[in-house]
Amino acid sequence: MSTYIILINWTDQGIRTVKESPQRLATAKKVIESAGGKMTGFYLTMGRYDMIAIAEAPNDESVATIMLGLGSGGGIRTETLKAFTEDQYRDIIAKIQ
């Protein structure tokens, strides 16, 4: 499975209904699990992003489908980064010619 870092901001609609956010988080976890993945971390943050999630998923297409579905609810905007482990990083760097 691949790892993804998801940077999340509330939309105007999302912040107006912020008290419903924990329920939306639980739903997001279920959506990720139903696609064969798992949310491995979640953080409320201060600064440029409101929240950060870390998830594992089988492939990029699954993550794209999940993020489009969650974003279509109108409460959040996301930016998703594919992450590589240290071992993967070392393998990638070793292949540079």
This model's pTM is above 0.85:
yes
CATH of 2-94 among 3.10.105.10, 3.30.70.920, 3.40.50.880, 3.40.50.10420: 3.30.70.920
Mean pLDDT across the stretch 33-57? 97
Which long-range CB contacts under 8 A does 86-95 form with residues at least 24 apart? none
Other CB atoms within a 10 A radius of the CB of residue 88 amount to 12
Domain ranges of the chain: 2-94
Would you state the pLDDT for residue 39? 98
Would you state the pLDDT for residue 13? 95
User: What does the alpha-carbon distance between residue 45 and residue 50 come to, in Å, rounded to a whole number?
Assistant: 5
User: In this predicted model, what pLDDT tens digit does every residue of 6-16 receive, in sequence order?
Assistant: 999 999 999 99
Q: What is the DSSP string of 31-91?
A: HHHHTT-EEEEEEE-SSS-SEEEEEEES-HHHHHHHHHHHHTTSSEEEEEEEE--HHHHHH
Any residues with CB less than 8 A from the CB of 16 and at least 6 apart, and which? none
